[in-house]
Chains A and B, each alone.
Chain A
């Protein structure tokens, strides 16, 4: 199973550069294989759609790692990552299957695949909450994360003082953290009264 149009290296580079034509090729070449695996192993069409997106995101993170090296065909790698993540998902749903039904060859995936997938999931949620902030807050936080100096940000934002810029940053960050924490209270507790400090 491989793309006729692109080599594996081109597909990996294309993913790294977010090339839409290449992204389409991933769907055309690999989606049906992954879908078949999910459907024959207690999954639904929706599960297959979600999982394939997750797998592409995991691959993106892996390709960005300096030490990433593909030791098998891209198709086998994608199938193996999908298989691993899907069996893990089934475990979460308490629907452990005795033996997965496989249609393709697979390899043992790296141990960090699950962590990358979970990490991606969290970043996705945090980003959603970030997008809900006011435009002003988003801009201040983004400028800080870009590594701009307080003086620069003060000028760009048109604030009256650097202290105001600092306070604005902390207030915006606090608002973001609180909104996330309210949603995931069961995971992150305590420090509810930070605003009072």
Chain B
């Protein structure tokens, strides 16, 4: 019992400094003694930590209840399967499956091939133009007023962007890039009439690299303004051009009867 007493007093902190030092030295030289101290310490912890053992009991109890309820549920499911009514028999299930497929097909056909309103089409196909290409280009310095205006457009700061584009337009009224982005910004604000004017102000022979994009957003703006005939004409041109927006234009034309 002497060893037990020494270890307990060591753990209680009731040994003298000299006795404590003696225990430390012995533990450092005697591995078994060191392990015994740890055992005492952990046993004390297990006695002290009643919460842990209470939790263990509760988890066990909850676990048993959970598995009993699972068993009961699966037994009930088994009983239900054995006594399932006529309607659940395989051939009826198969028939139900075909009916479901037919209904899904009808719904799909209605969704794909039914004409949509201009407003719905606009909502579906309008996404803001991503100016990343411009911002990543070698010419982009981030310093010029145009760069800053494009950056504002790209960040959705349309009011600031429009103010800046208007200022630039005063100096460069026929600059296709300024006109194109002004149009996009006006679309973002919701002023589609001005957007159409801005897009249309781009001279046809300007050699603007954004011609297809301009046409696409112009057609969308016209669509938004319920000018279906003019919009359809441009969508047809885009489709015939076979460019990036050709497929989308084709899809719009499928649903659209101006």
Which of A's residues lie within 8 Å of B, judged by CB?
Answer: 15, 18, 20, 23-24, 27-28, 31, 49, 52-53, 56-57, 60-61, 119-120, 122-124, 126-127, 130, 141-142, 145-146, 167, 169-171, 173-174, 176-177, 180-181, 187-191, 194-195, 197
| Chain B neighbourhood of A188, CB < 8 A | 32, 35-36, 39
In angstroms, Cα B47 to Cα A126, docked, is 8
Known: A130-B47, A145-B44, A195-B1. A173 touches B58 (CB 8 A): no
B5 contacts partner chain A, Cβ-Cβ < 8 Å? yes
Known: A173-B8, A188-B35. A57 touches B55 (CB 8 A): yes
Point out the residue from A20, A122, A176, A197 that lies within 8 Å of B58, measured CB to CB: A20
B42 contacts partner chain A, Cβ-Cβ < 8 Å? yes
- Which residue in chain A gives the minimum CB-CB distance to B47? A145
Contact between B43 and A180 (Cβ–Cβ < 8 Å)? yes
B236 contacts partner chain A, Cβ-Cβ < 8 Å? no
Known: A49-B67, A141-B47. A123 touches B42 (CB 8 A): yes
B99 contacts partner chain A, Cβ-Cβ < 8 Å? no
| Chain A neighbourhood of B197, CB < 8 A | none
In angstroms, Cα B65 to Cα A31, docked, is 13
In angstroms, Cα B39 to Cα A180, docked, is 9
- Which residue in chain B gives the minimum CB-CB distance to A166? B5
Q: How many residues of B contact A (CB 8 A)?
A: 35
Contact between B32 and A170 (Cβ–Cβ < 8 Å)? no
Contact between B56 and A194 (Cβ–Cβ < 8 Å)? no
| Chain A neighbourhood of B4, CB < 8 A | 170, 173-174, 177, 194
Q: How far is the CB of B188 from chain A (nearest CB, A)?
A: 36
In angstroms, Cα B56 to Cα A167, docked, is 32
Which of B's residues lie within 8 Å of A, judged by CB?
Answer: 1-5, 8, 32-33, 35-36, 39-40, 42-49, 51-56, 58-63, 65-67
Contact between A170 and B42 (Cβ–Cβ < 8 Å)? no
| Chain A neighbourhood of B42, CB < 8 A | 119, 122-123, 126
Contact between B43 and A27 (Cβ–Cβ < 8 Å)? no
| Chain A neighbourhood of B54, CB < 8 A | 18
Q: How far is the CB of B250 from chain A (nearest CB, A)?
A: 40
Q: How far is the CB of A64 from chain B (nearest CB, A)?
A: 8
Q: What is the interface of chain A mostly: helix, strand, loop, or mixed?
A: helix
Point out the residue from A23, A52, A146, A176 that lies within 8 Å of B43, measured CB to CB: A176
Contact between B35 and A18 (Cβ–Cβ < 8 Å)? no
Q: How far is the CB of A144 from chain B (nearest CB, A)?
A: 8
Point out the residue from A23, A145, A180, A191 that lies within 8 Å of B59, measured CB to CB: A23
Contact between B36 and A191 (Cβ–Cβ < 8 Å)? yes
Contact between B63 and A130 (Cβ–Cβ < 8 Å)? no
- Which residue in chain B gives the minimum CB-CB distance to A61? B52
Contact between A123 and B66 (Cβ–Cβ < 8 Å)? no
Known pairs A27-B63, A31-B66, A173-B8; list 8 more (Cβ under 8 Å): A18-B58, A27-B66, A53-B63, A57-B55, A123-B49, A127-B47, A146-B48, A171-B1
In angstroms, Cα B65 to Cα A142, docked, is 31
Known: A31-B66, A57-B56, A57-B59. A181 touches B39 (CB 8 A): yes
Contact between A126 and B1 (Cβ–Cβ < 8 Å)? no
In angstroms, Cα B54 to Cα A166, docked, is 28
In angstroms, Cα B238 to Cα A159, docked, is 102
Q: How far is the CB of B9 from chain A (nearest CB, A)?
A: 9
Contact between A170 and B1 (Cβ–Cβ < 8 Å)? yes
